[in-house]
Amino acid sequence: MYRVKVPATTANLGPGFDILGMALDFYNIIEVREREEGLKIEIEGLGADELPTDENNLAYQAMDYLFSRTDYSPAGLEINLINQIPLSRGLGSSATVIVGGLVLANCLAGEPFSTDELLNFATKIEGHPDNVAPALLGGVVISVMTEDGEIIYKRLDVPKLSTVVGIPDFKLSTTEAREVLPAQVIFEDAVFNSSRVALLIASLMSKDYDLLATCFEDRLHQSYRQDLVPGMDSVIKYTKEAGALAVALSGAGPSIIALTLNQEESVGKTMVQTFARHGIEANYKITKPAT
Ligand code: HSE
């Protein structure tokens, strides 16, 4: 039997839409073993009663994607998923299953593919690299898609900060959250974001976190998603006032991610209380970046 533990991820980190992502220290676990025939999938934990246990299961589909590119064809498969990451909350649960499925299938097939090839497969399945890259590699990852659709990446050390995730009690599909984005953005907004991304990378590399609040500003996606995440702007504003160094929508939302040196409890409680003022139940999770 092969087993992998794949971290949650927070994508975008404010301005780095489809470019930046960071692994977080909580995990989904996936196991696989070959069996004599047929497909058997068991799911424990979050989403156990709603995720498919047949060929529509994303872990199986990722495995099948890899097997179809090899000569290897298992007689049957038993897959176990132990889920600790909430679904459709902007915390990369799909990415864990895609990455986990590919890594396990690669093990079963005798490791014909490199890590870089697995990342390219994962990006093709997910459609964007910023969750699958840190899920596969850990840390903070800058992912660049070439015009040929290949991924070039650089991995940075994780910041020595705590992360607090405010997790609303509703799901938001990434597809829906991408449909509200404009086909074009104005030049000034593109410059605004590229300046913040550049500053953010420099701050992370020099471990100088004084400017993180400015680094996390965004004009490419968050405001367009405001209506999908009631209270988003207020949660970001009040969470900063509660002492967080930087706050942003986590991936496509609806969760909000805060980076903080301390005051984790008050940051988390502020997120929950502010969501509640907008009629949204939420909880918070204190964690840290994962290497
Ligand atoms: N960059 C993607 C988006 C991340 O914001 O749509 C999805 O988790």
Atom of ligand 1 at shortest distance to CA of 181? 6
pLDDT at 69: 98
pLDDT at 28: 98
**pLDDT mean over 122-131:** 97
pLDDT at 105: 98
**CA of residue 107 to ligand 1 center, whole Å:** 28
User: Using 50, 70 and 90 to split pLDDT, how confident is the model at 8?
Assistant: very high
pLDDT at 192: 98
pLDDT at 267: 98
As a whole number of angstroms, the distance between CA 200 and CA 213 comes to 9
By most ligand atoms within 8 Å of CB, the mutation choice from 9, 88, 178 for ligand 1 is 178
As a whole number of angstroms, the distance between CA 244 and CA 1 comes to 42
User: Using 50, 70 and 90 to split pLDDT, how confident is the model at 107?
Assistant: very high
pLDDT at 5: 98
Residues with CB under 6 A from ligand 1: 11-12, 17-18, 90, 128, 130-131, 174, 177-178, 221, 251-252
For the annotated binding site for ATP, the residues are 86-96
- Nearest residue by C-alpha to atom 6 in ligand 1: 252
**CA of residue 116 to ligand 1 center, whole Å:** 21
pLDDT at 146: 95
Length of the chain: 291
As a whole number of angstroms, the distance between CA 291 and CA 288 comes to 10
CB 45 within 8 Å of CB 84:
yes
As a whole number of angstroms, the distance between CA 164 and CA 161 comes to 10
Residue 243 exposed, middle or buried by CB count within 10 Å (0-12, 13-18, 19+): middle
ipTM of the complex: 0.99
**CA of residue 262 to ligand 1 center, whole Å:** 27
CB 259 within 8 Å of CB 215:
no
Residue with more model confidence, 158 or 188: 188
pLDDT at 110: 97
User: Using 50, 70 and 90 to split pLDDT, how confident is the model at 211?
Assistant: very high
User: Using 50, 70 and 90 to split pLDDT, how confident is the model at 58?
Assistant: very high
**pTM (2 d.p.):** 0.96
**CA of residue 52 to ligand 1 center, whole Å:** 23
Query: How confident is the model over 149-186, as pLDDT tens digits?
Result: 999 999 998 989 999 999 999 999 999 999 999 999 99
Structure tokens at 231: 């209270």
pLDDT at 280: 98
By most ligand atoms within 8 Å of CB, the mutation choice from 22, 174, 180, 250 for ligand 1 is 174
State which amino acid sits at residue 23: A
